[in-house]
Amino acid sequence: MLRRSLGLTTKDKVRNEEIRKRLRVGELNGRLQESRLRWLGHVVRRDEGYVGKHVRSMEMGRRKIGRPKRRREDCVREDKMQRGLSENDAVDRKLWRRKIRTGDPFNWD
């Protein structure tokens, strides 16, 4: 879509990073990671009777043979490891928000 908006095709041999830089658009992965961590912060700060907390702590059945499908909890665990976060950090909302922010995609210095 971004390539098309610039009037480029794959034959033009322009890298995706260059296209995002021209249009001043950030990477999608960072935004998705921030969204998952923001959701985790909401759940952690909720009271103990909240159903979302119970669902996160539930043990699921056995997985089928083969490569396991990625679950939301698997992605959240990886996101926390990449950013060096613990769930105790989420209790302080301002600290959590500062740590999960990906930054402004318009600052491409």
List, run by run, the mean pLDDT of 10-residue segments along the chain (109 residues): 89 90 84 91 90 81 81 90 92 92 58
Domain count, the chain: 1
Residue 82 belongs to a domain: yes
Residue 87 belongs to a domain: yes
- What pTM was computed for the model? 0.71
Domain containing 31: what range?
A: 27-55+68-100
pLDDT for position 26: 77
Cα–Cα distance measured from residue 97 to residue 89, given in angstroms and rounded to the nearest whole number: 10
- Per DSSP, 13 falls in state -
pLDDT for position 108: 42
What ranges in the chain are assigned the alpha helix state H? 2-5, 16-23, 28-45, 51-57, 72-83, 93-100
